[in-house]
Structure 1
Amino acid sequence: MIQQVNLYTEDMRPRQELFTATRLAGVVLAALIFVVISAGYASWQASGSGADRQAAQVRLAEIRSDLADVVTQLEGRTADPALAAELERLNLDLQNRVALITRLENLALRGAQGFSPLLTGLSRQAVDGVWLTSLEVDREPGNLVLSGLTEEGGLVPYYLEQLRLEPAFAGRRFRQFRLEQIEDSKGVLGFSVGSAIAIGEPEQ
């Protein structure tokens, strides 16, 4: 009997957050500017003498200048394309890992004890730039097929070597390896690999 698990469902796709770090920083800075200016204005209003007013105005001008420098520095950082791309990649990788672990835990709770050791091993081994999208398990002969996406073809063999460190994958041979370019994916590759228990080796 073949059991297929889809690990790349709609709820796993990264969602665009309403409040990104850049937007949140802008809101915080706007609020800070408003508070500082309001406080300075109130201080100026409360001052009784001309000298106190002049001192408050000078201080307020200095605060405005400092805040303008902070805003300029923040805008320069968020406008860095390399930094923005790296943050987006890390965020996507984190979301995919959390979604995968959550889905595997849910499957285990639904009574998927027949291949839970395999799922546990998969959840423990994660390689940057490699994402599983589906898992097919044939429980009778102990065969399985892993399918996924990768940013670099050379990462898949390394990922398979990491899987061999898991007890559930001990004694397994990976075969029928396939790697292909995904259309309109900007360099993302699709892969699939079959695994079978080596003759004479018991399944863990």
Structure 2
Amino acid sequence: MGGVAQQINLYRDKERSHAADAGARLLLVTVIGSVLVLVLIALVGEIYLHELTGDRVQVAERLQRQERALAEFNASLAPAPIDPHLEAELARLRDAQRYLNANLVALSGDAGVARGGFSEVFSGLARNTREGIWFSQLGLYGGGAEMRLKGRTTEPAMVPRLLQSLAVEPAFAGRTFRKVNFERHDSATGAVVDFELRSSASEEGDDAG
């Protein structure tokens, strides 16, 4: 009986040894598998990062090409030529406008010189001068009751607006211009329109003069 018990104990020791070896192998396989998984994840991340870097470089190169193309296109746009005759005419008209404005201000401030209430007419014109429209001639007849006004503008639509703004001036209230003439002068860079505003009595004054 003692020999049988000893054999059983030896068998159990071998089982425990085999179980320990199996556990160690399982642990080793698990560790190796975990390391392989980590290496695989790192490799995939490196590949993805490399692709992102390549995409970023391509986008940057494409952006640089587009910026160069835009700069070349902007450089190829030649400025529109300016008509020297039109520039000279506009400069002359601006000088004439400044001269007339100075005279209008002087006349409107001196009732003794501007007799018959003409100062109110000049004051009204002075308050309604603006960029793009010039007065070149003013004729007053019948003590200022009738008028002829000549000028130039770069925008014909400014003439109706001028008449609307003049209508609120005391010297122009109720005044009706029965004849309006326009003459357009075209050039390579734009157009200038001569205009003439007349009341019926001013035409008679011209004929009489």
TM-score normalized by the length of structure 2 = 0.45
Larger Rg: 2
The structure with the largest helix share of the pair is 2
State the structure with bigger RCO (CA 8 A, min sep 6), 1 or 2.
1
TM-score normalized by the length of structure 1 = 0.46
